[in-house]
A and B are shown apart, each in its own frame.
Chain A
Amino acid sequence: MIKQRKWFAIPGFLTLAAAAAILSAYAGASSSQGNSPVQPVKFPHPTHVQTLKMNCVYCHFSANKSPDPGLPAMSTCMGCHTVISPQKPEIQKLASFASKNQPVPWVRIHKLPEYVHFPHMRHVNAGVTCQTCHGQVQNMAQVSQQNSLNMGWCVNCHVGRSNPPFKARYDCATCHY
């Protein structure tokens, strides 16, 4: 009986180990794809981009010159909204933040781990559109994460398998340092 138990234990252990490995692999690859949190102020990208034809870099002002895309300062919002639609409830929310000298605490959606360095300007200047990574933001009343932002997804493009094809270094230390 004791011997038999031993024989059960070994494959049992192996199965457990395999399961753990698979689970942890999936866990490591977890991403926030599809994440679409409610923002403290509803910011309709379609209104600004499609209706008003505003350029992305009007607000995300450093996307073409810095690793950091830039987030519009409160003064950028209030520059227009002091006069434009001040009566709308969402604008009033915005104005109440502004009147208290508080920035809006936007909820972050697209997030790479700290050990990844993603220079926005290199991508933008190479002709990669914002939509390639961020999806059709101009159509999103509430922004959601369209792509996994996992490494495989990045590398797919770097090695030239995207449509249209782009080519970029795929050496680890290009991004990881």
Chain B
Amino acid sequence: MSSETEKSGVKRRDFLKVLGATGAGATMIGCSSERVEKLIPYFVSPDQTVPGVSTYYASTCRECAASCGIIAETRDGRTIKLEGNPDHPVNRGALCAKGQAALQGLYNPDRYRSPMIRRGGKLEKATWDEALKLFGEKLAEARRNPGGVAFVNRHQSGGFPQLLNSWLAGMGMAPAINVDPDADTTAIAANMQSYGVPWPRYDFNATRLIVSFGADFLDGWGASVPQQLDFADARARGADAPRLVYIGARRSLTGLNADEWIPAKPGSELAILQMLSGASTVEQAAQASGVDAAKLTALQAEFTAARPAMVLASGGAANGMELCLAANALNQSQGIVGTGVSVIGAIDSFAGIDPLSHVRALGQRMQSGAVTMLMVHNVDPVYLMPKASGFAAAMAKVPFKVSFSSIADETSAMADLVLPDSHSLESWGEAEPVKGTLSLQQPTMDPVFDTRPIADVLIAVSKTGTALTPLPDYRSLMISRFPGGAAGLSSALPKGIASGSAPQPVGTKTLPSPVTAANPGNGDFALIVYPSPALGFGDGANKPWLQELPDPVTKIAWQTVAEVNPATAKKLDVENGDHVIVETSAGKLSLPVYIYPGIAAGVVAVAAGRGHAESAGRYAKAGANAFNLLTYGEDRAGGIVLTSTRARVSKDGGFSRLVTTEGSSRQHGRGIAQAVMVADLGTGATHEASGAEHAAEAAPQGSVSPEQQSRAEGNKAAAGEHGAEAGHPEFPGDASHEFLPGLRSPTAKDAQGDLGGPGTKSKDKGMYDPKHWSGMANRRWAMAIDLARCTGCSACVTACYAENNIPTVGADWQGPKVLPDRTGFGANITRSREMSWIRLERYFEGGEDGGADFEARFVPMLCQHCGNAPCEPVCPVYATYHAPDGLNVQVYNRCVGTRYCSNNCPYKVRYFNWFGYGEPARPQYAFPEPLNWQLNPDVTVRGKGVMEKCTFCVQRIREAENRAALEHRGVAPDEFTVACAEACPSRAITFGDAADERWSVAKLVNDERAYHVFEELNTYTAVVYLKKVNHPSASSVASASGVSAPSGSSSVPSPAGGH
């Protein structure tokens, strides 16, 4: 907020808490205006804000170490949406799903609402005075034995670690252990050693080949947002784009974006890496990794040809440190360091993250009784440390435990005193993501609950103890060292960044000698525990948006599954959903099976992040905890080993419906996700790259025979058919006349009303007439989605939830409780009742035989805003209709819930409110207080029995029009965009007016790769997809010369064709 604070004698929160006339969060229940409603004015109007108009504050995202810049949209004192800061050097305007969901950390109903003190074995509410008094007493006691005090801190870049360590040092205590569960500390340690920076900037433009050894740089490995931006930019270069080869036992999201996947045995990556560096032979590598020698020979040849290639490797294996160091050495020897792997622009905020071995060592000290006081800040080591490490039991032995957690979790549930930290959106701070650049963090609103920023608490307590600082709070501390003081800070805040450096923390820690002798146990299977792309290692589990976000790879939400290879499943005699027992020497779990072709045979993979204890709140307990299966081991850098445990897998009796949003992983010839070979770009012959038959040339029934596949010709014919063709006979229902420029689609005036043939045309077309004074029919809002850029990360999905008040439906109290196999978390989703207006469809091409040679395609699917929409004529009450500016509109208050429209929608993008998810009085209410504070007041919260769908963010269109009208001008090209496009970390989505060539989208819809999904249905969609570009390896091009399909992706449609 602005630098003005609590001077007026009235506490700011008193007049910000209650708001004026807009009924934010009120729901659409009936039309009655009889209820008495109160209008509560401000006591003192806050400066520089206008009720009903958003204020935007620049701040810093604290959801991971990358420290992206955010813009927080705040309306009437409440933060309602986060966007990326376009001026920020890290994320350049994009924001991932985790960043979007920071709002649900802010408004989480399971947050601590006040300090808590353990009395009689139970945590009870207390006042800050009581809590701070107790804390002061215990600190004074602890100072007599400062060696017995330990502090586990949430890693944070910026000035706070320095404050914390000097606070601890002032009392003679050891420096804090800084934990970030999602950071790959092994890779960071290797980077420090090799490059001298914790996380270099990867410029994928500088290479023709990227070889990733389990480095999931698109899902959460390191700074995923800038990596996605850079990767998408590099891949958008068509023929010059780098190829990506992924080596690992499980094909992650990054693996699915790779052009080639080489399934190597877990832990054998180093053998292949040594082969590339010339330290071993192909035969040795093949033997160690179980990969076909021919494949490795081809890789080696390509690697040599592509010099310099970029090699990325992640920790997680027992030899993780060796692997990462070898990868970095290979980069150095090839000379890509300095160009592709750059220390300029390195993400510095990954510095100072301690590996989990420190926490394990702390556990051992606690076990021995040497720790008398433990302080934990926003980390959950009780969940995070595998049960085998014995951390929780050891922690119970500590006489006094203090938690600064802002939200209930397993660790704070064991605490004797909880001093809840304010959320990062409620407190001051700074990060230094790039050396010399400070990313500023400012409160975007007053605290939701009675919480205090930890820095202010430490300062307050130190005043009564040692005199650490004469300053009253952290903000004053920031000002005192900011160049230009308060004025300098005030002028830098609107931009969110400033040049400068954060003070470095004092104190050193020595790495505890790692527990390398991890006993992997025995069993036929290798167990891989991996961080869920949405939930990480558990941080996201208390946020319903992230729980409901289908995993980009498995499409599973709210549930923990055991992923096995199709061949393995056959051997075990299990189908999707059948339970298997995964048993290791550390523990066992009964999990439903998910059959995934992207898993090497003999491997079982389980995502971490779910299955928290009851104490972690209402959402986090969904699923099962994969950490319970891990035997505890560390690599040389102290990072936890995730892939070396052996497991026994056997069939269990049970069955659970998979909580999945996926119907089929195959396209069945529907041509939804199309692709083109890179060699064909620019030749006009943009024919299909593989098995998905181009829908436009498919027979009307959808069944495609192999004979019908003369693709290039078919494409041309299709284009001609839909072009503005002279002499084409007009017949009722035909919409192929009168096109707006830029989009192969009729003007809206044709889509509505005048389809009855030439004789029945009415004279008055109203607003559908392009000459009408409103000019609405001269616009056509449209969207282009570039599948060559889309990585499937699903940030758009969460952005849409945030912008459009979409309810999550998977919590256990929201589902029907009738059928015993359809209750619990995700019950609604097993009935396809998810409400996700935009969803990421993921299709596999090829590999029907269960082989590794398959391709994945991601398609964001949302309402296509058809020019000739099948949903519109079937609505008996005209609740859905076509707006003159090209929007397919759903009028909630007209809708009576017949669901005919959904039935008739070929894209299945309409969602029905089966329950009153938006109505507070209903048990299925999706926004328990204060989650409802986040609701966007510009968007109606839908009630029970109403159909809803993507609106193309009509509220943003209206807002832009209103703003333009106030300024007496028209809407400027690319002036605004929709929520999904704004968030997209790979810039795959472009929104705008396709009828106005000045908008970027108008050019994209004419791209040579452009196509409409189900074009043959004459729907004239306003969403244009640009075909994915496939980069086959040189060897597969040679072997398939003359045939357009790469080997393995057969052009014969799968037998299960149809819809």
Contacts and interface: CB of A to CB of B under 8 A. Distances in A.
Interface of A: 28, 30-32, 37, 61-62, 65-76, 101-108, 111, 113-115, 117, 119, 121-122, 125, 167, 169-174, 176-177
Given A106-B39, A114-B26, A114-B28, 18 more contacts: A61-B45, A62-B50, A62-B51, A68-B53, A72-B41, A76-B45, A103-B43, A105-B39, A107-B37, A108-B37, A113-B33, A114-B27, A114-B940, A122-B965, A170-B767, A173-B883, A176-B893, A176-B940
A163 B293 CA distance: 85
The 7 nearest A-B residue pairs measured at CB: A68-B52, A73-B42, A66-B52, A108-B37, A73-B45, A71-B41, A173-B889
B44 A73 contact: yes
A39 to B, nearest CB: 10
A65 B892 CA distance: 27
A101 B41 CA distance: 12
A73 B23 contact: no
Contacts of B510: none
26 contacts: A28-B31, A30-B33, A32-B33, A37-B36, A62-B52, A66-B50, A66-B52, A68-B51, A70-B21, A71-B42, A71-B51, A73-B42, A74-B42, A101-B43, A103-B40, A103-B43, A105-B39, A107-B37, A108-B36, A113-B31, A113-B33, A114-B27, A119-B958, A122-B962, A170-B767, A172-B889
Nearest to B775: A169
B739 interface: no
Contacts of B43: 73-75, 101-103
Contacts of A167: 773
Nearest to B879: A172
B259 interface: no
A65 B48 CA distance: 13
Contacts of B20: 68, 70-71
Interface string B890-904: 011110000000000
A68 B52 CA distance: 5
Q: Among the interface residues A61, A76, A107, A108, which one has the most CB atoms of the partner chain B within 10 A?
A: A108
Contacts of A74: 41-44
Interface residues of B, number: 53
Contacts, number: 149
A167 B775 CA distance: 13
B194 to A, nearest CB: 53
A75 B8 CA distance: 11
B911 to A, nearest CB: 16
A121 B966 CA distance: 8
Contacts of A174: 958
Contacts of B894: 172
A171 B773 CA distance: 13
Nearest to A37: B36
B705 interface: no
B52 A67 contact: yes
A66 B965 contact: no
Contact of B962 (A68, A103, A121, A172): A121
Contacts of B941: 114
B539 to A, nearest CB: 34
Contacts of A104: 41
A171 B883 contact: yes
B32 interface: yes
Interface of B: 10, 14-15, 18, 20-23, 26-28, 31-34, 36-45, 50-53, 767, 773-774, 776, 881, 883-884, 887, 889, 891-894, 938-941, 951, 954-955, 958, 962, 965-966
B385 to A, nearest CB: 47
A70 B50 contact: yes
B41 A113 contact: no
Nearest to A66: B52
Contacts of B41: 71-74, 103-104, 106
A105 B37 CA distance: 9
Contact of B891 (A30, A68, A170, A173): A173
Q: Considering residues A101, A113, A171, A173, which has the most beta carbons from chain B within 10 angstroms of its beta carbon? A: A173
Given A113-B893, A121-B966, A31 B36 contact: no
A105 B939 contact: no
B19 to A, nearest CB: 9
Given A105-B38, A117-B958, A171-B883, A75 B21 contact: no
B36 A107 contact: yes
A102 B45 CA distance: 13
A115 B21 CA distance: 15
A72 to B, nearest CB: 6
Given A66-B50, A69-B21, A125 B965 contact: yes
B752 to A, nearest CB: 11
Q: Which of A66, A72, A115 has the most CB of B within 10 A?
A: A115
A119 B53 CA distance: 11
A169 B767 contact: yes
Nearest to B774: A169
Nearest to B23: A114
A66 B76 CA distance: 12
Contacts of A66: 50-53
A121 B52 CA distance: 11
B892 A171 contact: no
A156 B549 CA distance: 44
Nearest to B20: A71
Contacts of B15: 73, 103
A106 B38 contact: yes
Contacts of B27: 114
Contacts of B940: 114-115, 176-177
A115 B893 contact: yes
Nearest to A113: B31
A173 B954 contact: yes
B38 A107 contact: yes
B893 A75 contact: no
A70 B42 CA distance: 10
A101 B884 CA distance: 50
B626 to A, nearest CB: 42
B50 A65 contact: yes
A92 B23 CA distance: 30
A75 B44 contact: yes
Given A108-B38, A113-B28, A114-B28, A103 B18 contact: yes
A111 B33 contact: yes
Contacts of A113: 28, 31, 33, 893
Contacts of B883: 171-173
A113 B23 CA distance: 10
Contacts of B33: 30-32, 111, 113
A144 to B, nearest CB: 14
Contacts of B938: 117
Nearest to B18: A103
B425 to A, nearest CB: 23
A106 B767 CA distance: 40
Contacts of A30: 31-34
B893 A169 contact: no
Nearest to B942: A115
A114 B946 CA distance: 15
A113 B51 CA distance: 18
A68 B22 contact: yes
A142 to B, nearest CB: 15
Contacts of B32: 30
Contact of B955 (A32, A70, A172, A177): A177
Nearest to B27: A114
Nearest to B21: A68
A162 B983 CA distance: 44
Nearest to B951: A177
